Amino acid sequence: MKKLWTKNFTIITLGTVVSMLGHAVSGFAIGLMVYDFTGSTLKYALFMVCYSMPRVIMPLLAGPYIDRFSRAKLIYLLDFVAAGMYIIIAVILQFSWFNYVIFLLISLLAGSIDSVYSVVYESLYPLLITEGNYSKAYSISSLIYPLASTIMVPVAGICYNTVGLMPLFVFTAVAFAVAAIMETQIKVEEKHMISRATTSFSFKRFADDLKEGVDYLKDEKGLLCILAFFFITMMTGAAESTLALPFFKSSDANSFKSIIPGLLEIPYFQNHEGRGVAIYTFVMSMSTVGRLIGGVFHYRVKIPAKRKYNVAVVVYCCTAIIAGVFLFTPVELMCVLMMLSGMLAVNSYNIRISSTQNYIPDEKRGRFNGLSAMIMTSGTLIGQVIFGGLGEVFTAKQIIPVAMLVNLVSVSIMIIGGKHVKQIYNKDL
């Protein structure tokens, strides 16, 4: 087996770490900035909608180009554009030039950059992994964002209360610029590229490339089952992500049960505005801890190829069951369940992403990743609308278990019933 830490892999990993540090800060800061200036939850929500909209359509539109042009160049160009965008935001803040309409346009640009970048990254990353190291490489990839969030979000919170928002955006711009400079050093043979004579823009060529990608997917029953399952998973998962915070925030302080006497009386829970929010942040942070533990485990322990499909099925079922029951448990058990869920989620991600990216031909990878990103984002947005509406009538404890039951049914139909999925997952990578 060849070594994993080649020059290209080291560059993409370090570059991603740096850009994710900036991404974690920007994700925290940009929402606060809009809310601080407008003081309106409606305008804040509209801003977030504008950020999410490109994540539905842009990956699909970008896919054909990602399969035709240099992914190594695209990834650093996008980081340079992001750096410029955050410098502009910092200047606007410095001179108090805030304009809500301009920031709606910026949110569209930020959402477009993020959505396209994720597809380019997923399509380039397999080219930088040496043979036999797919599983280990994706375990490293799965660690980066949770680690960046764990480090930078608390730091950003402290900076927000001391030096303000402007320095946060300067840091974000510098992080993206440094990542882009590092990524310019990636040197990889991109066999998917065709000759320069045929790479000029053409709507017909774009449509033909898109149709070719769709036709390929139609013949791949295993990939179709995986995409359909994750659409349902993202949609039903939105029940928890949408309703959990309102549940904790609106619950009476005395309604939370604890096994350890005095746990909920410690200052951390007493000094927050709304005890439920403090408990929510404490419980949900355990999911990030679990992701970190799971990533390290997956890096050190290789799941046998013949067991990957069975492990995936167990993980899908367990995460659904955990999400369905955790609101009914004492706080300590909530923490344990969230940590376990995070550990399992990393295994789910690793098995799915490494298997599918290895299975798909390189020349079609961008289109598949674009379609996959669109489907998963659509599932999340549809779920947020559905369960947000149901939350006006029913409680989180009534909605989330039913949503997770639907998820379990989808495991049975699309993963267990989809015999072609096993052929994709059970590969020695």
Q: State pLDDT tens for residues 91-129.
A: 988 888 878 888 888 889 998 999 999 999 999 999 999
Residues 171-220: pLDDT tens digits? 999 999 999 999 999 999 888 776 544 556 677 888 888 888 888 888 89
- Is the predicted pLDDT of residue 310 greater than 70, yes or no? yes
Q: What is the pLDDT of residue 201?
A: 60
Print the SS3 string covering 246-258: HHHHHCCHHHCCC
CB 380 within 8 A of CB 358: no
How far is the CA of 63 from the CAs of 15, 53, 209, 356, in angstroms?
A: 22, 17, 9, 16
| Distance (Å, whole) CA 350 – CA 341 | 14
- Is the predicted pLDDT of residue 223 greater than 90, yes or no? yes
- Is the predicted pLDDT of residue 252 greater than 60, yes or no? no
Q: What is the pLDDT of residue 124?
A: 94
Residues 2-33: pLDDT tens digits? 788 899 999 999 999 999 888 888 877 777 77
State the chain's mean pLDDT as an integer.
86
Q: Which residues of 86-123 are buried (b: 16+ CB within 10 A; e: fewer)?
A: bbbbbebbeeeeeeeeebbebbbbbbbbbbbbbbbbbb
Average of per-residue pLDDT across 132-160: 81
pTM of the predicted model as reported, rounded to 2 decimal places: 0.85
Q: What is the pLDDT of residue 272?
A: 52
Task: Indicate the pLDDT class of residue 257, thresholds 50, 70 and 90.
Answer: confident
| Distance (Å, whole) CA 399 – CA 393 | 10
Q: What is the pLDDT of residue 268?
A: 62
Average of per-residue pLDDT across 322-347: 92
Q: Express as a percent the part of the chain with pLDDT over 70.
A: 93
Q: What is the pLDDT of residue 192?
A: 79
| Distance (Å, whole) CA 111 – CA 51 | 5
**What letter represents residue 49's amino acid?**
V
| Distance (Å, whole) CA 21 – CA 171 | 9
Q: What is the pLDDT of residue 256?
A: 73
Q: Which residues contact 245 (CB under 8 A, 6 or more apart)?
A: 277, 280
Task: Indicate the pLDDT class of residue 347, thresholds 50, 70 and 90.
Answer: confident
Task: Indicate the pLDDT class of residue 1, thresholds 50, 70 and 90.
Answer: low
Q: What is the pLDDT of residue 198?
A: 53
Average of per-residue pLDDT across 272-277: 63
- The secondary element (H helix, E strand) that includes residue 227 is helix 221-250
Of residues 149 and 228, more confidently modeled: 228
Average of per-residue pLDDT across 236-254: 80
Poorest-confidence range of 11-25, 152-166, 279-293?
A: 152-166
Q: What is the pLDDT of residue 333?
A: 92
Of residues 344 and 273, more confidently modeled: 344
Residue 154: how many other CB atoms lie within 10 Å: 11
Residues 368-423: pLDDT tens digits? 999 999 999 899 888 988 998 898 899 999 999 999 999 999 999 999 987 789 99
Query: Which residue, 189, 186, 191, is CA-closest to 7?
Result: 186
